[in-house]
Amino acid sequence: MKISQVNLQRHFGGGEVYTRFFCRALDHLGVSTQLLVHPKAMFWRTIKLPASTQIITIESSTRLTEYLDTSQPSWVVGHGPLSGVAVKTIHAYNGLATAIAHMPVQGRNPAEFFNHDLIIPVSSWVRDGLIAAQLPVWFEPLYGVADFPPEYPQGPIQRRSRYAWDYRKGRDLALSLAARIIGPLLPCPIYQRRPGITIGIVSRLTPIKQFPLMFRILSSVFAENSSVNLEIFGSGGFATVRDLQRALAPIADRVRFWGHQTDRVKVYQNIDYLLTGLPEKEALGLNVIEAQACGTPVLAPLAPPFDETVLENITGFFFRDPREDQGADFQRLLTQLSSLSSRLDPRLAHQHLARFSFDSFCTRLSSLLTWVNDQQSKKN
């Protein structure tokens, strides 16, 4: 059976991290795959993938026909929904059109998943939304893995740009050109922890995280707790970063932006707590899994999907969604953290972390492969 993956994202994020360990898991199970990526997604050139993964550049899924092997059954996995044209093409050659849902459909139009043979959720939160939309859903969430590739450059944590430019936008193109000129003239300090409690954001600064909205509420809470510092490791679009900076203005003296960092292990090891964004648009939160694997406890709103990935008072702490109480419970949490004599160590939660291990991921993927083979056998 021929397996093809489709990931046409141009920017590296959680879905691309997922694609990487999905390829690793297939290889571990003795299955080869071809990965169709966008030609402008240059990061795939530097990511070490198994020899069993063949990378093919393709500008649009409408050209999928050129890369399907019609001599044997095919399974196509979209990292996100496949286009309607792609689904029709796959079905025309008697293949299976499936997609990994990296985003919840709650609050979104589920029509983009129509006509797929199967949707594969990454969490129970995502699965529940797909079931409510009456879509064909794989019964078991795949979850994810704390995947830290050794080939990424290591070294000191050093300030980089807080912006991830979208070159399809004229404004971003102009600003990026200006940044290339001004950037080399700006200081690039090396990260050093400051006294007090260090709360870190380790994430792409994307709209689904809702950081500007969250900090329009929580900045006043941070302002009342002078021993708490906020360190932001990640980059985002111009508008998101601008709105986040405005929301953080009341505590600007205790906030530092460090840009995207490749050595995430070192980042997690140099903060006291990971802070998530708001919950409902989040599908899983690979950074939550990564932080716990590195021994860093998590602070998250008590809501899906975080209630699947964090154990209260064992691998992290929950607080009430600040939109419900204007941050009163987060204030309680900061007071609690200030009084702790020792920090939680999530690495002691062996059974919990095993759920997000590479071996567990491979076991879940193996069950999915069995189903796929059965479906193809029925077609032949």
Q: What is the mean pLDDT of each run of 10 residues along the chain (380 residues)?
A: 90 92 97 94 92 91 72 88 91 93 95 96 98 97 91 80 79 69 79 97 96 98 97 95 97 97 94 98 97 98 98 98 98 96 95 97 98 84
Segment 273-300, tens digit of pLDDT: 999 999 999 999 999 999 999 999 999 9
Do 236 and 326 reside in the same domain of the chain? Answer: yes
Do 120 and 257 reside in the same domain of the chain? Answer: no
- The enclosing H or E element of 325 equals helix 322-325
| Residue 162 within a domain | no
Q: Which two tokens stand for residue 218?
A: 């929580």
CA atoms within 13 A on the CB side of 34: 15
Do 27 and 45 reside in the same domain of the chain? Answer: yes
- C-alpha 233/C-alpha 227 separation (Å) is 20
Do 114 and 195 reside in the same domain of the chain? Answer: no
Rg (CA), the chain: 21
Do 191 and 315 reside in the same domain of the chain? Answer: yes
Do 114 and 70 reside in the same domain of the chain? Answer: yes
Do 21 and 34 reside in the same domain of the chain? Answer: yes
Segment 344-369, tens digit of pLDDT: 999 999 999 999 999 999 999 999 99
Whole domain around residue 254: which residue ranges? 170-354
Is 200 within 8 Å of 232 (Cβ atoms)? yes
| Predicted pLDDT of residue 376 | 82
- Number of C-beta neighbours around residue 377 at 10 A: 10
| Predicted pLDDT of residue 178 | 67
- Using a CB cutoff of 8 Å and minimum separation of 24, what contacts does 287-292 make? 287/14, 287/202, 287/203, 288/316, 289/143, 289/144, 289/145, 289/146, 289/356, 290/146, 290/148, 290/202, 290/264, 291/202, 291/346, 292/146, 292/316, 292/346, 292/347, 292/349, 292/352, 292/353, 292/356
Contacts of 169 (CB under 8 A, 6+ apart): none
Q: How many domains does the chain have?
A: 2
Do 374 and 345 reside in the same domain of the chain? Answer: no
Domain containing 110 — which CATH number? 3.40.50.2000
Do 199 and 117 reside in the same domain of the chain? Answer: no
Is 50 within 8 Å of 25 (Cβ atoms)? no
Do 256 and 139 reside in the same domain of the chain? Answer: no
Do 132 and 176 reside in the same domain of the chain? Answer: no
Do 306 and 365 reside in the same domain of the chain? Answer: no
| Residue 154 within a domain | no
| Predicted pLDDT of residue 330 | 98
Helices (H), 149-263: 170-182, 211-223, 238-247
User: What's the pTM value of the predicted model, to 2 decimals?
Assistant: 0.94
